[in-house]
Amino acid sequence: MSEPGPLAGLRVLEVGHILAGPYASMLLADLGAQVTKIEPPGGDLSRQVSDAYFASLNRGKRSIRLDLGTPEGQGRLHELVRDADALLANLKPSAVHRYGLTYKALRAWNERLVCVALTGWGMDAGDRPAFDYVVQAATGIAALTGASDGPPQLPGYSSADNSAGFAAALGLLAQVVSGRGGQIDVSLRDVMLSQLNYHASAWLNEGTAPRRLGGAHAYYVPAQLFPTAEGHLALFITHDGFWRAFAAEAGIDGFTTMPERAARRHEVVAAVTKALAADTATGWEARLRPLLVPAAAVRALPEALADAPDAVVEAGGHRMVGSPFRVTGYEPEYGPPPRLGEHGDHV
């Protein structure tokens, strides 16, 4: 029998749409928290995308339908807040204020309440539209992505929303652990700038601007994708021991130290590309794995999921990727996503 989740007893209210906020609160629900979505009359906008999309961000939650723009809706919100530990709002700043979803507005009903505002640019930045790809473009992510001689690009998934969701969940828990109520502000902008840590530090301290290197690492060489006889291989050589093992297997001489490889990047990449053409990506992966050299063949998502059956769970008839947290003795129940207003309809 599974033990209670590490967050059992934690009661979280969520007011938000689409991805970042719902993802944050789902991570908490997976760990045993009771999460209640407070949805507007029309429901979370992600319900309009597809059932599978909504389920992937809202499994195991409760749903209460409230019109927060009415006195009745505000009254019910205050009743819910009395018994809650935290409230996470993922709306534009003006809406967070208008609906009274801040600690300042709610402390009269619960001084120990933790309020998290998850916005695009911060609570003091106004209502400038903030969607994942827009934030990636504005914070330097897109400028770093893509071929060195091509245009900037975006990754094929919502990295800003997902990253901000993790950050919001962490900030919420940090304040809960403190035992004090209070306000936590998390913005997609700040999260993505934070994730550019060493790039930002190089510029701020050394005046070294990052360059688009076609996905290659700025410091480690070789650390990028390489074509092979069939498919592409990700090779990530972070120290000289890895290089010695790889070079011996690939039949490459020289370039024995990282500073030399960094200084002669183009020569190293050319030598590695030539050597890897002798085998397929999966062939190289099989050859390098026993040597403990970090390498993997590029796989499409269906292949990746097939290789990781333990990561796939079922929740309410939907198959999806489960929690990234593996807690000894605890197995999440992965309840179904809630029907709109399933646990209370006050519209």
Tokens of 179: 């035992």
Q: Which whole-number Å values give the CA distances from 340 to 42, 131, 318, in the listed order?
A: 9, 24, 17
Secondary structure string (H, E, C) spanning the chain: CCCCCCCCCCEEEEEECCCHHHHHHHHHHHCCCEEEEEECCCCCHHHHCCHHHHHHHHCCCEEEECCCCCHHHHHHHHHHHHCCCEEEEECCHHHHHHCCCCHHHHCCCCCCCEEEEEECCCCCCCCCCCCHHHHHHHCCHHHHCCCCCCCCCCCCCCHHHHHHHHHHHHHHHHHHHHCCCEEEEEEHHHHHHHHCHHHHHHHHHHCCCCCCCCCCCCCCCCEEEEECCCCEEEEECCCHHHHHHHHHHHCCCCCCCHHHHHHCHHHHHHHHHHHHCCCCHHHHHHHHHHHCCCEEECCCHHHHHHCCHHHEEEECCEEEECCCCCCCCCCCCCCCCCCCCCCCECC
Tokens of 134: 């827009």
Told to judge if 279 belongs to the known catalytic residues of this protein, a careful annotator would answer no
Tokens of 272: 């590695």
Question: Which residues on neighbouring strands pair with residue 116, listed in sequence order?
Answer: 88, 184
Catalytic residue selected from 161, 185, 190, 279: 161
Q: Tell me how far apart the alpha carbons of residues 211 and 144 are, in angstroms, rounded to a whole number.
A: 6
Q: Tell me how far apart the alpha carbons of residues 68 and 40 are, in angstroms, rounded to a whole number.
A: 7
φ and ψ of 216, to 5 deg = -70, 150
Which residues are identified as catalytic?
161
